[in-house]
Amino acid sequence: VPARETAAPGAAETTSRPATEQAPPARPPKSPARTREATLDETPVEVEVAGRRTDRPSAAGRAGSKVERREIDERLSRSAPDALRYEPGVYVQQTGHGQGSPFVRGQTGQRVLLLFDGIRLNNSTYRQGPNQYFFTVDTHTLRSIEVTRGGASTLYGADAMAGVIDARPLEPRLSLDAEGVVLHPRAAVEASSADEGIGYRTQLDLQLEPRLQLLGGIGGRKVALLESGGAVCSPGTEDCTPSSPEVARVPRFEGDGRTEIGTGFRELTADGRLSYSFAPGQRLVAATYLYRQFDAPRTDQCPPPFASLRECLVYDEQFRTLAYLGYTSLQGPRWARSVQTTVSFQRQHELRTRHRPQSFIDNGGSDQVTTVGTLARLRTDTLELSPWLGASLGYGADLYADTLDSAAWTDFTDNDVLVPATRGQYLDGSSYQQGGAYLDLESRWFERVAVRLGGRLGWARAVAPEDPASGTLAVDAAWPTVAAHAGLEVTIIPGLSLLGNVDRSFRAPNLDDLTSRQQAGPGFQVENAALGPETSATFEAGLRADVEQVLEADAWIYRSVLYDAIVRSVIGIGDCPPATPSCAASWSRYKLVNLGDAATIDGFELSARGWLPLGFSLRATLAYAYGEGPNPQAPPVDPAAPYEPTVPLSRIPPLNGTAEARWDSTFGPYLGAGVRWAATQSRLAISDRSDARIPLGGTPGFAVLDLRAGYRYQDNVLVSLLLENVLDTAYRYHGSSINGPGRGLIVHVEGGL
């Protein structure tokens, strides 16, 4: 092991076990003006300095937060979405044990952009509601997760209407003084009692020479049925047992009334990251990340409400493969001081089966989305136009192209016969392209005022073949897209800033909107080939305090206005497409429509972290969102019939928050406690009322206490313990199918050289 492991030319100081993890969380440095070189937006190489810890995202002037490797380790998150449970303004919904969908400012799915190392994970099949895809990011490969709240389409393109979540991978470790080959093997095992989970990861950090490093790892996990704290009922229910009529219809329980049927899964992961620094400040990266999940039930369909216990919708395979080549530079010419370019290939594969063994029927479906993408992000050097005015210009472009394979079939297992359907959930052979180019100007005035302005022009195009047998129309549509933002940051006094942003973001309808037919949580959803784009305008104001060595606090209020929002609208049986009997046979049916009038989401977010003497620190968050929009249903003919002209938006999280306390020694051990809580959410959209994931009348509030302890020895040993849900609370995040784990222990042991 080399004596010195530090920054190398063209590479970050961040390592496969970042230096930041090796020291106790030092108080944040005094840094009122973050250097542009460290921003998320364009800078390919992030500069982290050992000892610094901050919740601040690197997106300048924006609301957001960051989860670092160390916090992921200590919180012992079960998944990437799970790692965000303590982040302000983020609320994590789970339709299955092996799924998780982060809500940002009350929105999820298509309206939250997921990135991995700056590359879009969102593709054209992301659904209107929650999806499972962020779960396919292996937390063990992550250095940090950054959350930017609010619209951000100018920089990132479509879908960034409510926020952006960027998972940033570990980098290979550099050993500058070492000669020859340097090896850093590492292994970890993890076990959890509530779901009898056992996982492992082995990792090899290899430096062939100071300019060439490789980080590779493989991992796996197997988890069984999840034991919860018990049943969750409608708000205010006194007798909440699994047999109570007020109990949520999903999940169903085993005989103990705690163990949730339709949970458990297996997963395998592998990753490799090759980094070559061919010149000072310049780096070439070739990386691939594989995620393979098997046998993950969708809990609310395993079994569906009222169905036989043996009926179950299982994701037999949920795979994601990401590979990319990236070039980054921090030392380019003045007109391109920082450069990030990437060429990526991503494949999302899904194979699912609805097992109905009582009738010897398996309904199968499979979808593959292959995405080829490229992006370039550049920023000029800061031009000092006068002693009191400096400016830099960011610019770039991106392009992503999806192709889609989709099929569905019915398998009669007693006859050993497969019957293909004429179409899958999507239309086989569909394609989708989107891209755009942007400019982003940042200027600083008198070192106290920062003004940011930007805009993007882009387009999206969807092509899908028709399927006459199912009455599916062909799609060949294109939309121009426009995004813009303006921001102002005023440093009132050192350590106290006032921020304001106005943003216009967009999302063109994707292949899921335009072509999918599926049994969604609230009912059967049919496509609408005539949808148009939706846009959002975000108005937000924030107050940011940084008291050196003592406090870091943010307070934000916002209003998001959704124009032409794509939402579910109830349809009658007569509106069902032909040859789709499941539509007419379902209790409720929906079609996506553009709302004619604007919908709004108003809210606030508070977060604060304080550092106390003797290694103690405190952190708390609070978030609230209130979403409302015009009723997608037309008023009834009878004016006397009940009708609400405005209705809540779907699945808006309730008032929620967290509180954490932590003690960190200088010699290894740490202790911590965290409380997650949420108030009752009884404001339900029309589609929420038929969603089995939401108890009748809403989701009751909860408070869950977690205790943490552990020991670190430099970068060589890590033992983490989490006693989760100490009070064995029965709880559920609003809109989830699963109830949270009951009281249990998670143990993580990791060692390396």
Partner 1 sequence: MQPRVKAARSARLAYARSVRPYAAVTHARMPCLAVAILALGMVAGCESSGPETTVGVGGACGSVAACAPDADLTQTDNASCQPLVDDYVPGSATDGWDACISDDGLYHPFDPNISSVARVGAFEEIATLLGFGQSKVPCPQDFLDARVAYSTAEGVESRVSRREDEHYPAAPAACNAMTPAELAQYPERCVGPAQIQPLLNEAFQQGIDGIDPVRNAARIEAGLLWFFYLSSYKEAITCTTTPADCDSCYAYYTGGEPETAGLGLSRYLRDRSAQAHGRVWDGILAVRCWRDLDNPTGAATNPALRDLATAQLDRALLRGVALIVRQRVQTLPCDQAWETVQILAKVLDREAEARDPTVAAVLRTELAAPNGQAGVTVSAVVDALDSLFPCP
Residue number, 343 or 482, with CB nearest to partner 1: 343
Q: Is 319 in the site for partner 1 (CB under 8 A)?
A: yes
How many residues bind to partner 1 according to rule CB under 8 A? 65
Smallest separation, CB 76 to partner 1 (Å): 24
Give the residue carrying structure tokens 């100018």: 154
Helix (H) or strand (E) holding 383: strand 383-386
Q: For residues 13 and 116, what is the distance between their CA atoms, to the nearest angstrom?
A: 19
Contact yes or no for 603/626 (Cβ under 8 A):
yes
Complex with partner 1: residue 268 or 551, whichever CB lies closer: 268
The residue from 208, 279, 309, 492 that contacts partner 1 (CB under 8 A) is 309
Question: Cα(69)–Cα(186) distance, rounded to whole angstroms?
Answer: 15
Q: Between residues 83 and 404, which has the closer beta carbon with respect to partner 1?
A: 404
Pick between residue 575 and residue 597 the one whose CB is nearest to partner 1. Answer: 575
Please tell me whether residue 572 binds partner 1 under the rule CB under 8 A.
Answer: yes
- Which residue lies nearer to partner 1 by CB, 171 or 546? 171
DSSP state of 687: H
Shortest reach from residue 550's CB to partner 1, in Å: 46
Question: In the set 248, 290, 623, 679, which binds partner 1 (CB under 8 A)?
Answer: 290
Report how far Cα 159 is from the mean position of its chain's Cα atoms.
12
Question: Which are the contacts of 308, defined by CB distance < 8 A and separation ≥ 6?
Answer: 356, 358
Residues 359-388 that bind partner 1 (CB under 8 A): 359-361, 363-364, 366, 368, 370
Question: What are the C-alpha distances in Å from 91 to residues 64, 67, 564, 644, 652?
Answer: 14, 14, 24, 27, 9
Sign of the alpha-carbon dihedral angle for 641, 644, 649, 654: negative
d(CA 332, CA 340): 11
In the bound complex, what is the minimum distance in angstroms from residue 261's beta carbon to partner 1?
10
Cα distance between residue 711 and residue 694, in whole Å: 40
Whole-number Å distance between alpha carbons of 373 and 118: 11
Q: Which residues contact 306 (CB under 8 A, 6 or more apart)?
A: 249
Q: In the range 192-231, which residues lie near partner 1 by CB under 8 A? A: 218
**Which lies closer to partner 1 via its Cβ, residue 366 or residue 617?**
366
- Do the beta carbons of residue 106 and residue 654 sit within 8 Å? no
Candidate list 105, 485, 589, 651; residue touching partner 1; CB under 8 A: 589
Of 278 and 360, nearer to partner 1 (C-beta) is 360
Q: Does 581 bind partner 1 (CB under 8 A)?
A: yes
Question: Which residue lies nearer to partner 1 by CB, 325 or 490?
Answer: 325
- Give the nearest distance from C-beta 584 to partner 1 in angstroms: 4
Task: Check binding of 516 to partner 1 (CB under 8 A).
Answer: no
Query: Does 321 participate in binding partner 1 (rule CB under 8 A)?
Result: yes
Query: Does residue 466 touch partner 1 according to CB under 8 A?
Result: no
Assess 358 for contact with partner 1 (CB under 8 A).
yes
- Least separation in angstroms between CB 362 and partner 1: 8
- d(C-alpha 687, C-alpha 254), whole Å: 29
C-alpha to C-alpha distance for 598 and 673, rounded to whole angstroms: 42
Q: Is 258 in the site for partner 1 (CB under 8 A)?
A: no
Q: Measured between alpha carbons, how far is 695 from 234 in angstroms, rounded to an integer?
A: 5
**If you ran DSSP here, which 8-state letter would residue 638 be given?**
S
Which one among 39, 269, 344, 516 touches partner 1, defined by CB under 8 A?
A: 269
**Six-digit token string for 470:** 């199912």
Q: Binding to partner 1 by residue 276, rule CB under 8 A?
A: no
Q: Binding of partner 1 at residue 582 (CB under 8 A)?
A: yes
Q: Which is nearer to partner 1, 306 or 446 (CB)?
A: 306
Q: Which is nearer to partner 1, 323 or 449 (CB)?
A: 323
Distance (Å, whole) CA 375 – CA 397: 6
Asked whether position 189 contacts partner 1 by CB under 8 A, the answer is no
Q: How far apart are CA 451 and CA 457, in angstroms?
A: 21
- Give the end-to-end CA distance of the chain in Å, rounded to a whole number: 7
**Angle at CA 158, nearest 5°, toward 554 and 66?**
30
DSSP bridge partners of 329: 282, 339
Q: Does the footprint of partner 1 cover residue 464 (CB under 8 A)?
A: no
Sign of the C-alpha dihedral computed for residues 395, 403, 408 and 353 taken in this order: negative
Question: From the CB of 560, what's the least distance to partner 1, in Å?
Answer: 33
The residue among 90 and 692 lying less far from partner 1, judged by its C-beta, is 692
Task: Find the binder of partner 1 among 381, 428, 466, 728 (CB under 8 A).
Answer: 428
For the bound state, the minimum distance from the C-beta of residue 66 to partner 1, rounded and expressed in Å, comes to: 29
Block residue for tokens 């192709």: 403
**What is the C-alpha to C-alpha distance for residues 195 and 737, in angstroms, rounded to an integer?**
16
Closer CB to partner 1, 351 or 545, in the complex: 351
Alpha helix stretches (DSSP H) within 445-598: 511-515, 581-585
Q: In the block, which residue shows the tokens 């106005």?
A: 502
Q: Does 294 bind partner 1 (CB under 8 A)?
A: yes
Question: Which residue's CB is nearer to partner 1, number 13 or number 267?
Answer: 267
Give the DSSP letter string of 272-312.
EEEEEEEETTEEEEEEEEEEEEEEEE-GGGSSPTTS-TT-E
CA 188 to CA 751: how far, in whole Å? 6
Our CB check for partner 1 shows the closer of 122 and 348 to be: 348
Site string for partner 1, 386-425 (x = CB under 8 A): -------------------x-x-xxxx-xxxxxxxxx---
349 touches partner 1 by CB under 8 A: yes
Return the residue matching tokens 């998670």: 746
Candidates 159-167, 356-364, 649-657, 714-722; binding stretch for partner 1 (CB under 8 A): 356-364
Judged by CB under 8 A, which of 288, 433, 631, 680 binds partner 1?
288
> Half-sphere exposure of 85 toward its Cβ, with a 13 Å CA cutoff?
28
The nearest distance, CB 29 to partner 1, in angstroms, is 38
Residue 330 to residue 379: CA distance in whole angstroms:
9
Q: Is 696 in the site for partner 1 (CB under 8 A)?
A: no
Q: Is 577 in the site for partner 1 (CB under 8 A)?
A: no
Nearer to partner 1, 6 or 413 (CB): 413
Question: Closest by alpha carbon to 751, among 202, 72, 198?
Answer: 202
- Segment near partner 1 (CB under 8 A); pick from 80-88, 319-327, 698-706, 738-746: 319-327
Chain length of the chain: 753
Q: Which is nearer to partner 1, 409 or 711 (CB)?
A: 409
**Least distance in angstroms from the C-beta of 414 to partner 1:** 5
Q: List residues near partner 1 by CB under 8 A.
A: 218, 252, 268-270, 272, 274, 286, 288, 290, 292, 294, 303, 306-309, 311, 316-317, 319, 321, 323, 345, 347, 349, 351, 354, 356, 358-361, 363-364, 366, 368, 370, 405, 407, 409-412, 414-422, 428, 519, 524, 572-573, 581-582, 584-587, 589
